[in-house]
């Protein structure tokens, strides 16, 4: 299930069997909270074990390999994706008090209450201005703990982050690059050049967005592989399956089987 707004997106992941995934891209700044079970994450030259007592703070365009391990046949995590940048003063405060070397934060009672509220609220009922205030509260809490700069190295959203947010609105559209050029009022050459300056490419971003979208659709219960392929912008079921397997290291069916007992 996904809850989304202009400022915030909340994504829920579950599983009843071990899920081993590689090349999972987090394209926007995100907080990952493992609610039940454990996420064993490859990080730099070692590994991190994430559970319900910690938050994983991730800047945009990070890629990870991990294993989700259920507890009592249940793995459950929540990902909070942020689409607005914090104030520069908050980042300055975060840097001033930071003593962190890895992007893991112990979950405080105050932060737990904030994230629980964000995960249960119906974002469609709240104005953009109120949502921005909610998100600013999260940023303030992270800044006080010296962790906000791990989520946002700068107070300006990159072009690729803005592009990803636009592309997510309709990943099955046939002419996404032309739609994006029209939306940002730039030429195709300029779009390609701006992405190159950020060390990425349109095709790479689109493929990663589509693969993440496929995970979300399967989490939401979509099982028909042809429907999955079409929803992710692929006309061929076999091409979609090939892309998915190459990207994550397991087939769509293998991933779907890890969700078998979820109601």
Which CATH number is 178's domain given? 1.10.10.60
Are both 149 and 162 inside the same structural domain? no
CA 85, 10, 241, 249: dihedral to nearest 10 degrees?
Answer: 80
Are both 69 and 181 inside the same structural domain? no
Q: How confident is the model at residue 124 (pLDDT cuts 50, 70, 90)?
A: confident
Question: How confident is the model over 74-87, as a mean pLDDT?
Answer: 94
Domain boundary among 134, 154, 174: 154
Are both 72 and 14 inside the same structural domain? yes
Are both 123 and 33 inside the same structural domain? yes
Report the Cα 131 to chain-centroid distance in Å: 18
Percentage of the chain with pLDDT > 70? 97
Are both 60 and 106 inside the same structural domain? yes
Are both 170 and 185 inside the same structural domain? yes
pLDDT at 38 over 50: yes
Q: According to the model, what pLDDT value does residue 54 have?
A: 95
Separation CA 232–CA 107 (nearest Å):
35
Overall number of domains in the chain: 2
pLDDT at 179 over 80: yes
Helix then strand then coil, % of the chain, to nearest 5? 45, 25, 30
Q: Which two tokens stand for residue 172?
A: 């099955």
Are both 7 and 94 inside the same structural domain? yes
Domain boundary among 154, 173, 195: 154
Domain with 201 in it: 158-263
pLDDT at 79 over 90: yes
Q: According to the model, what pLDDT value does residue 40 have?
A: 96
pLDDT at 261 over 60: no
- 169 versus 182: which is more confidently predicted? 182
Are both 175 and 129 inside the same structural domain? no
Are both 165 and 145 inside the same structural domain? no
Are both 47 and 170 inside the same structural domain? no
């Amino acid at each position: 299930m996904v809850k989304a707004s202009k400022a915030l997106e909340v994504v829920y992941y579950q599983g009843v069997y071990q899920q081993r995934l590689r090349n999972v891209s987090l394209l926007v700044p995100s907080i990952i909270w493992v609610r039940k079970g454990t996420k064993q994450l490859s990080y730099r030259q070692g590994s991190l074990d994430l559970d319900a007592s910690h938050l994983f703070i991730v800047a945009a365009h990070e890629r990870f390999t991990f294993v989700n391990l259920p507890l009592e046949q249940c793995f459950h995590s929540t990902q909070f994706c942020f689409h607005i940048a914090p104030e520069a003063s908050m980042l300055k405060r975060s840097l001033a008090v930071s003593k962190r070397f890895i992007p893991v934060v112990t979950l405080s009672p105050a932060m737990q209450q904030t994230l629980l509220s964000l995960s249960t609220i119906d974002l469609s009922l709240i104005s953009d201005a109120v949502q921005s205030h909610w998100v600013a509260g999260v940023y303030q809490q992270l800044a006080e703990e010296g962790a906000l700069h791990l989520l946002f190295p700068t107070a300006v959203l990159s072009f690729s982050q803005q592009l990803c947010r636009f592309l997510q609105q309709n990943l099955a559209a046939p002419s996404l690059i032309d739609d994006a050029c029209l939306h940002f009022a730039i030429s195709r050459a300029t779009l390609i050049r701006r992405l190159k300056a950020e060390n990425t490419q349109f095709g790479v971003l689109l493929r990663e967005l589509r693969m993440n979208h496929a995970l979300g659709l399967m989490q939401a219960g979509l099982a028909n592989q042809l429907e999955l392929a079409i929803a992710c912008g692929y006309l061929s079921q076999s091409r979609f399956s090939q892309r998915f397997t190459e990207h994550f290291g397991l087939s769509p069916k293998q991933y779907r089987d890890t969700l078998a007992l979820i109601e």
